[in-house]
Chains A and B, each alone.
Chain A
Amino acid sequence: MTSTTTKNRRVDLLIFGLSVFLVFCLIFESFLRLPILIAWLGRWHPLILHFPIVLLLIAAFLGLTGKNVPRALLTVATVTALVTAISGFFLGKEAVEKGNLLFWHQWLGAGTALVAVVWYWLDGEGFGNTVYTKALQVLLVVLVGFTGHFGGMITHGENFLALPTEKSMDGPIPDNPLIYQHVVARILKNNCVSCHNPNKQKGELLMTDLDGLLKGGESGSTLVPGNPEKSEIIKRLYLPLADEEHMPPEGEKPLSTSEIQILERWVALGASDTVRLNHLGANEPLASLVKEMMEPDPMEKWAKLPKVADSTIQRLSSDYLTIGRIAGSTDALHINMYKPPTYDPRLILDLKAISKNIVQMDLSGLPIGEQEMELVGSCENLEWLEVDRTPINDTQIEGLKNLSNLHTLKVYGTDIGDPSAAVFKNLTKLKSLYLWDTNISQSALDNLRNAAPALLIDNGIDAAIQPFFVDRDSIPISGNQDRAIE
C-alpha cells in the first residue's frame, strides 16, 4: 500500500514537473536556445502524438458515457499529452518564423495537455464524476480534434482534408497569362508549397511568393535569375529520383518533364514576375510549353457532347463514308468521306442526326454543294474541317462563321476569294489554315495575317524552297529504264 502511494506520488510529481516545464517553455520561448540533442527530441513529436490522441479520447469517452475511467489510463494519457506538447514545442522551434497554423497548433496542443492535467488532478481529488470533469472531457475532445487538425494541415498541406474535386480547383489559365503568377506559381503551389509555406518552412525556404524564392533557403541560392544551372531549385529537380536531395522528396509525386522545363526556362529568362505569354518570342520553348499547359485535355472537353450509340454510327456509315469515335468511348466523331462511283448528297445530309458530335470532318475532293455546306455549318463542335478541292464558294464559307471551335481548316484548291478571308478572321480558335490555290488576294491575306498573328497560314510550299526543287534538273545520274518495271 505504501509503495503504491509512493509511486502515485512520484507520478503526480512527474506530471506537475512536466506541466511547469511546458508552461515555462511557452512563456520564455523567445529566450530559449535548444541544444542539438534536445532539439532532436522534437523529431519524436510525430511519433508520440498518436498516444495522447487515442488515450485521451478513450478516457473522455469512458467518462462521458458514465463508466469508470481507470486511473492508470488517465495517468498515461496525461503524461503522454505533456510529453507530446513539449516535444512539439521543441520541433516548433525549428521553424524560422511561425505561421498561423503553427501558432494555433502550439497553443491548442499545450492547452490540451494542461486541461488533461487539470482533469487528472480533479480525478485524483475525488471529483472524477462531477459535472466539472464532464465539462473538461467535452473540452478535451474538442481540443484534441482541433489540435490534430491544425497539425495535420501543417504536415500535409492546408487542403489535405478538402473535399476531392473532379478537376483541379485552379480553373483554366487565362488567355495571355503572366508567366510567374499564372503558370510558375501554379506549378509550385501544386508541388512544393505544401512543405515550403509560412507554417512549415522546410529547409527555411518559402515558396509562396517570389521574394521567398529569391531569398532562398538554408542551401542558399534557390533561384539565380538567368542561371538555372546555379539555381538550387532546378538542380534538385534534375537529380535522380533516389537522390536524397531530389525534390519533391521520396514518396511525393515528381514534377513532369514539361513542368520542370517551364521552371527552367522561366529561371533562364530572368525569373521575372511581369512577363506575359505574348512577350515571349515565337521560338521561345517556354511559349510552347505554356501553351501546352493551357490546352485542356480533349477527352475532357468532349465529355459534354451528346451521347451517340454505336448502332447510329453503324447505320450512317457506308462503304464510302467512315464514321468513328476519335478515341476510346468518347462521343466525339470523325467523318471521312471518299468519292463514291455515284455521289449522293444524302449520305452527308443524313449526318444531321449526329451533327453535334462531329468534331473532325474530311470532305476533300467531293462535289459538295450548298446543302452539304449548310450541314457542315451546323456542326457546332467541329474542330477540324477539310473541304479542299471542292466546288465551294464564298457564300457557303460564310455559313461556317459560327464554327467557333474550328482549329484546322483546309480550303486549298477552291474558288473562294476575299469575302472568305473575312470569315476566317473571325474564327478565333483557328490555328492552321490551308488556302493556297484560291482566289484570295495578297492584300486580303496580309490583312488576315495582321489580324490573326498566331494563325498559321499555309499558302503553298515556301517560295524560298520551291525553286530548289522545281527548277532543278532532277533526272537522276543514270537512266532508270532498267529498273522501271519489275
Chain B
Amino acid sequence: MEEDKTNKESPLKVNRRHFFSQLSVGIGSLALGSLLIPDLFKKEQDVLTGRALGIPHFAPKAKRVIYLFQAGAPSQLETFDHKPTLRKRMGEDLPESIRNGQRLTGMTSGQDKFPLMPPAVKFNQHGKSGAWVSDFFPHIAKIADEICIVRSMHTEAINHDPAITFFQTGSQQGGRPSMGSWMSYGLGSENKNLPSFVVLTSRGKGNSQGLYSKLWSSGFLDSKHQGVLLRAGKNPVLYLNDPEGISRSDKRHLLDNVSSLNKLHHVETGDDEIESRIAQYEMAYRMQMSVPDVMDISKEPESIIKLYGEDCQVPGTYAANALQARRLAENGVRFIQLYHQGWDQHGNLPNEMAGQAKDVDQASAALILDLKQRGMLEDTLVIWGGEFGRTNYCQGKFDPENYGRDHHPRAFSIWMAGGGIKPGITYGQTDEFGYNVVENPVHINDFHATLLHTMGLQHEQLTYKYQGRRFRLTDVAGNVVKDLLA
C-alpha cells in the first residue's frame, strides 16, 4: 500500500517490481509488433548464405548467355541505325544544337569542322518486323524476325578501355567481377566438368584494340568464377594436359595426395581460397576429358559447317568460335563470351567494316538459326554489340569513299535474341542525326539489370560484400527494361 502511494506521487519513483511489470508489457508490445516483420529472425538475406547461391531468385527465362562482343565498337550508322538525314545533309557541319557541347575524344576535338557523313552502305528493311539492317549484314538481315535491335544504348565512357571495362564489369575502372563471373556466382555451374564462364577471342583485319584478362576476371569473387580463355588449336586450355608419360591414374593419385595436403592447410589457415583451389584441380582433371570432347567439331555434319560458313573449320576464327559457343552452351556453360577484335574504324571505315562484317555476319546469324532449331533459343540469350557507337561526322578529311568515325558514347545499337527477349522488335530511337537518344534510352546499368533479370536474378539482390560494402554488377543504378522482355 505504502509503495503504491509513493508510486502515484512521483512518476519517476519506480520500484523494481513496477519496473519489471511495466517492462514486460513494453517488451510484449514490441514482440507483438515484431510479428509483423516476417523475416526478422531469419538469417540475413538469403543470397549471402551458401544455400541460395547458385539458384535463381525467380523462374528464369534464360539459362545461359552467349555474348558476341564486337570489340572496338562497330558504327551504329553502318549497322542498324538508319539515318537518311545524314545523306541529305551530307558534308554539312553537325549542328551545335545537336552536339550541345558534349565532349569529344582527343582525336577529333581539334577538328574545326564536323561534316556529317552518310554511311557508305545501303539500308533495307527486313522480315515481317521491317527492321532496318545495312547491306553489310545480309545473313543477319535474314533473321531480322528473331532478333531484338536496341538502337538506344548509351554509355558513359568515351575510350575503349573504360568503355569495354564498364560493359564487362559495370565499372569503368578495372577490378570488379565481370558479368560472366557474376552469373557464375549467382547461378552456379550447370555442368561440373566445364567452367561456367568461358572466353573465346578472334581478330578481324580491321583496326584493333587490346583485350586483356581483366575483362573476364572474377574481381573480388571467388576465383572459380573467373572466365576461362579457350585458345584456338591443340591446347584450348594451357597446361591442362598431363606431361608425357603420366597416366590418368597416376594423375588421380597425385591429385588425391595434393588434395589431402591442401585440406590440412585449410584447417590451419581457414583460407577459403584453398578450397576453391582443390575444386579447381578436380575440375581440371575432369576437363582433361570434357574439353577436348566439346572442342572437337569433327562430328558436326556438313550442313552445320556450311551453315556457319567454311571458315568455322579454321580454329581461331569468329565462325569457329560461334560454332564452339553453341557446343559449349549445349554442354551447360553459363556464360560464353566471344570477342571479335578489329571494329575501331577511325579511318578506312567502308573497307574495314565490310571485312569485319564478313567475318561475323554469317556465323552470328547461323548461331541463331542453329540454336533455334535445337530449341535452345528458348533458354539461351545471345547478345551482339560493341562498347559504344561512332560519330555521325567524319574523322579527318571529308571523303565519302574513305572516311572514319570517332568514338561516340551517346547512342549506339546492339541486338539480342532468345532467352526471354522479345523477338522481331526494334527498340529505342535516336534523333535524325543518330547522335542523341530521343526515345527509350538504355544505359549499360539498365542493360545489365535486364540481362540478370532474364537469368532469374534480381540485380539489386545479387550482391557480394567486400571491403565493407556490398557490391552489385549494377552498382547503385539500373532498371530492368521490361519492354524488351517477351
Contact = CB atoms under 8 A, between A and B. Distances in A.
B375 A465 contact: no
Nearest to A299: B59
Interface string A381-412: 00000101000000000000000000010101
Interface stretch (A29-37, A121-129, A478-486): A478-486
Given A465-B369, A470-B303, A484-B316, A408 B375 contact: yes
B121 interface: no
A328 B56 contact: yes
Contact of B359 (A298, A386, A476): A476
A299 B307 contact: no
Interface string A464-484: 011011101011111010011
A480 B378 CA distance: 34
A457 to B, nearest CB: 11
A308 to B, nearest CB: 13
A338 B57 contact: no
A111 B50 CA distance: 65
Contacts of B359: 476
Contacts of B306: 469-470, 474
10 contacts: A325-B55, A412-B374, A432-B378, A436-B373, A460-B373, A468-B139, A472-B362, A474-B311, A476-B311, A484-B316
A61 interface: no
A324 interface: yes
B358 A477 contact: yes
A458 B332 contact: no
A328 B375 contact: no
Contacts of B55: 324-325, 327-329
Given A322-B191, A478-B205, A486-B316, 16 more contacts: A320-B193, A322-B190, A329-B52, A388-B375, A408-B378, A461-B373, A468-B138, A468-B139, A469-B365, A469-B369, A474-B311, A474-B362, A475-B311, A476-B309, A476-B355, A484-B314
Interface string B34-64: 0000000000000000011011111110000
A373 to B, nearest CB: 19
A324 B374 CA distance: 22
Interface of A: 257, 283, 298-299, 310, 319-320, 322, 324-329, 336, 338, 341, 364, 386, 388, 408, 410, 412, 432, 434, 436, 458, 460-462, 465-466, 468-470, 472, 474-478, 480, 483-486
B330 interface: yes
Given A257-B482, A465-B143, A469-B307, A298 B59 contact: yes
Contacts of A468: 138-139, 142
Interface in B344-378: 354-355, 358-359, 362, 365-366, 369-370, 372-375, 378
Nearest to A324: B55
A410 B355 CA distance: 37
A315 B193 CA distance: 18
A336 B331 CA distance: 9
Interface string B183-225: 0000011111100000000111100000000000000000000
Interface string B139-151: 1001100000000
Contact of B192 (A319, A472, A474): A319
B59 A327 contact: yes
A263 to B, nearest CB: 17
Interface of B: 51-52, 54-60, 128, 138-139, 142-143, 188-193, 202-205, 231-233, 286, 289-290, 303, 306-307, 309-311, 314-317, 330-332, 354-355, 358-359, 362, 365-366, 369-370, 372-375, 378, 456, 482-483
Contact of B307 (A257, A298, A320, A470): A470
Given A328-B58, A338-B332, A484-B315, A474 B309 contact: yes
B107 to A, nearest CB: 26
A478 B303 CA distance: 23
The 4 tightest CB contacts between A and B, nearest first, are A474-B309, A470-B306, A434-B375, A327-B56
A182 B359 CA distance: 52
Contacts of B331: 338
Contacts, number: 135
B232 A485 contact: yes
Contacts of B314: 480, 484
Given A364-B330, A465-B369, A458 B375 contact: yes
A410 B374 contact: yes
B203 A483 contact: yes
B278 to A, nearest CB: 14
Nearest to B129: A283
Contacts of A462: 369
A220 B191 CA distance: 62
B316 A322 contact: no
A327 B332 CA distance: 17
Contacts of B190: 322, 336
A324 B54 contact: yes
B89 to A, nearest CB: 32
A484 B232 contact: yes
A472 B56 CA distance: 42
B58 A469 contact: no
Contacts of B365: 469
B221 to A, nearest CB: 19
B369 A461 contact: yes
A193 to B, nearest CB: 26
Contacts of A257: 482-483
Contact of A434 (B205, B373, B456): B373
A328 B52 contact: yes
Pick from A319, A326, A432, A476 the residue with the most CB of B within 10 Å. A476
A262 to B, nearest CB: 15
Nearest to B331: A338
A480 B311 contact: yes
A478 B232 CA distance: 20
Nearest to A481: B314
B315 to A, nearest CB: 6
A432 B375 CA distance: 8
A313 to B, nearest CB: 11
A299 B311 CA distance: 44
A436 to B, nearest CB: 6
Given A283-B128, A328-B52, A328-B55, A485 B193 contact: no
A344 to B, nearest CB: 16
Contacts of B482: 257
Nearest to A409: B375
Contacts of B192: 319-320, 322
Contacts of B310: 474-475
A320 B286 CA distance: 10
Contacts of A412: 373-375
A364 B375 CA distance: 12
A474 B307 CA distance: 9
Contacts of B332: 322, 336, 338
A175 to B, nearest CB: 22
Nearest to B248: A341
A233 to B, nearest CB: 22
Contacts of B138: 468
Nearest to B201: A486
Contacts of B330: 364
A327 B191 contact: no
Contacts of A326: 56, 59-60
Contacts of B51: 310
Contacts of B57: 327-328
B433 to A, nearest CB: 28
A387 B372 CA distance: 16
A434 B375 CA distance: 7
A92 B227 CA distance: 70
